[in-house]
Each structure stands twice: as structure tokens, then as C-alpha cells.
Amino acid sequence: MAIGEVMYRRRLKAVALAVPFVVAVSLGSTAGATSLAAIPCDVTALNNAINAANNNTGPHTIRLAPKCVYNVLTPASTGGLGLNALPIITGTVTLLGDKTTIRRDPDATEGFRIAEVDGPNGRLTIEGVTATGGGYLEYGGTYLPRSGGTLILKHSTVTNSTANVGGAIVVDLSSTLEMHDSVVRDSAAVQGGAIYNGPGSTTLLQKTKVVRNQATEFGGGIFTAGVSLTIKNSHIEGNRAFQQGGGIYNDRAPMDISSTTIADNRAGQMGGGIANDGTTTLTDTKVRRNIALNGGGVWQGTSGGSLTLVRSRIFDNTPNNCRPVGVILGCTN
């Protein structure tokens, strides 16, 4: 089911930028060397550089000002699923930061996310940037790759954002998300407090932390209904869902988790660590100290899915490790 077809009976309550210069430089002297736009700490400069990259009239790699806060009061673009702080990414764009922040101004009168990445050619890579304060939208409080778009986050943080679906990030309509050495924290939604991996889409989390997010329904940390969700060497910790899947809710999708800790998550009903209605494999992974009404570690649903343990442990969860009893081989209660 496409995201636009989902009906919601309740909404989240509100939780509580002179045209500057752009300097283009060349990296190296060999043929095909990558050009780079170094911009000042100014939102207009950032928007101009992104538009130039989209239109192939300027460098595709943009170096942001170190330790700058790009404070966005007025959105720069409107997409099919709401307003965006930055121009919609339709080409190849790389933003390089150094302790740099892009935020929605707390005094902004409109709700908007930080960036939308539209396929089939939109590809946004962000490195060394904190994005914060986005949202008050239906979909994707901070980032929204859609229609085949690609979003890659490296050494970056996404925090303090809200939406009804995907409090921080929605991966929509056959799009791709990659996160490496990054963090998604303190965000909220109805479904997918941090990340919503939508139908047809692919998400990879590597050395990434998904912490202290919450959902009023399913998937306090992550909700996945996509082609695949792969998690490696990561931490899914301290998230909460008021219904199912405190850490992760798997809605009939393939999910592969390895060398990861899923701990200290909570669900009001089932699946404190994981509520699984899909096909999941846990390899060298620990599911511990999670809490739910039932299935404190893992709740295995009745939709024909399965959860396989490979050198993995589910232990010290409350009030039990796995439910229903006997469905997950190798899990002791």
C-alpha cells in the first residue's frame, strides 16, 4: 500500500536566511577532478548552490561553513508531500559539513522538513551535518527520498523532528536510504518514530544509532514495509511505541539484522524489542532489556512471517523473551 493511501484517525500534536558569494574550487589538477562550491554561513548561498547543482550549472559538491547553523525560517520549495527548507534535490548533490547544523527555525510559522530528494535522478549525500527541528507534516519530518530518490547520510545526526509517518525520515515509493556512522534520535510519529521504510523501498543502517524515538502506534524506532531493511553493527535503543514494536515493527517485509543490539525499548502492547510480521533473520545480535505487555523481546505475528536466530540471543526482557511460546526456535522464555 502506498503511503498516500494510508488513512489516519488521529494526528500528532505539535511537540514541543543580499545574495552572498559562492566560491568554486577544483580539487586536484587531473582531468575529471571534482569541483566544489565552498559557501558561507548563509541560507541563500546554500539554496543557490543546490539549484546550480540540480541544473548542472555549478559544482555538485557543496562545502558548508564549519560550525555554522543554517537557520531556515521560510521554506524554499514545495513538493507533493509538503514544504521543504531546501530546494528539492533532483540531481546529484553532496553537502559536506564540519560540525554544521541545518535547522528549521523554532519561530517558523509553517511546518516543513529539511530536504526532499526526488527520483529518478535525485541523489543527496550528507556528511558531517546535524539536521534538526523539522516536521509538523504528514510524511518525513526531516528527510524524504521519494519516487526512486536516494539519500545517503554519513557521520550525521537527525534529531528533534515530527511527522505523522516517519518522524525523522520516510523512504517512499521505491527509494533508497543509507546511513553510515550516524544517529537518528528524539523524534516522533504515529508510525515509525525515527524511520518509515515504505513499500518498494530499501534501507541500510550501518554503525548507526536509532535512539529515544517514539510512535503513538507502531514502530517506535523503525517501521518497515519495504523491499528490504538491513541493519549492521548498530544500536536500536530506548525507543517506545504505544502499541506494537518498541524498537522495530516489521509489516510483512524482509529484514536482516546483524551484529546489532536492540535494547531498552518499550511497547504498550506487543513486541518491546521487535514486533515481527515479516521474514526476519538476526545474526550475532542481542535483544535484551526490552519491555512490553507481551513478547517483551519479540512478538511474532500471525501473518505467515518468521524470525530466525543465527548465533543471536533474546534475553532479560520483560515479562518474557518471545511470544507466542515455541514459535521462535532457540528463544527461551
Using DSSP's 3-state secondary structure scheme, residue 229 falls into strand
Q: What is the pLDDT of residue 155?
A: 98
Contact assessment for residue 314 and residue 289, using Cβ atoms and an 8 Å cutoff: no
In degrees and rounded to multiples of 5, residue 132 shows phi and psi of -145, 155
Q: What is the pLDDT of residue 32?
A: 35
Which grid cell sits at 39? 559557501
Residue 274: which of 114, 311, 115, 312 has the closest Cα?
Answer: 312
CA distance 272 to 321: 9
pLDDT in tens, 37-61: 999 999 999 999 999 999 999 999 9
Domain boundaries, given as residue ranges, for the chain: 65-323
Which grid cell sits at 109? 510559522
CA distance 168 to 307: 27
Strands 77-79 vs 115-118: parallel, antiparallel or unpaired? unpaired
Contact assessment for residue 198 and residue 169, using Cβ atoms and an 8 Å cutoff: no
Fill in the DSSP letter of residue 4.
G
Fill in the DSSP letter of residue 263.
E
Residue 272: which of 295, 303, 305, 301 has the closest Cα?
Answer: 295
pLDDT in tens, 231-275: 999 999 999 999 999 999 999 999 999 999 999 999 999 999 999
pTM to 2 decimal places? 0.91
Ordered DSSP codes for 132-193: ES-EEEEE-SSEEEETT-EEEEES-EEES-EEEE-SSEEE-SS-EEEEES-EEES-EEEE-S
In tens digits, the chain (333 residues) has pLDDT values of 444 443 333 333 333 333 344 455 444 332 334 589 999 999 999 999 999 999 999 999 999 999 999 999 999 999 999 999 999 999 999 999 999 999 999 999 999 999 999 999 999 999 999 999 999 999 999 999 999 999 999 999 999 999 999 999 999 989 999 999 999 999 999 999 999 999 999 999 999 999 999 999 999 999 999 999 999 999 999 999 999 999 999 999 999 999 999 999 999 999 999 999 999 999 999 999 999 999 999 999 987 789 999 999 999 999 999 999 999 999 998
The answer, yes or no, to whether the previous bond of 75 is cis (omega within 30 of 0) is no
Q: What is the pLDDT of residue 224?
A: 98
Fill in the DSSP letter of residue 50.
H
Contact assessment for residue 261 and residue 285, using Cβ atoms and an 8 Å cutoff: yes
**What are the start-end ranges of the H helices in 178-333?**
none
Q: According to CATH, what is the number of the domain 65-323?
A: 2.160.20
- Strand order, beta sheet including 115-118: 115-118, 143-146, 169-171, 195-197, 222-224, 248-250, 274-276, 298-300, 322-323
Degrees, nearest 5: CA angle 206-188-133 = 85
Q: What is the pLDDT of residue 304?
A: 77
Q: What is the pLDDT of residue 4?
A: 44
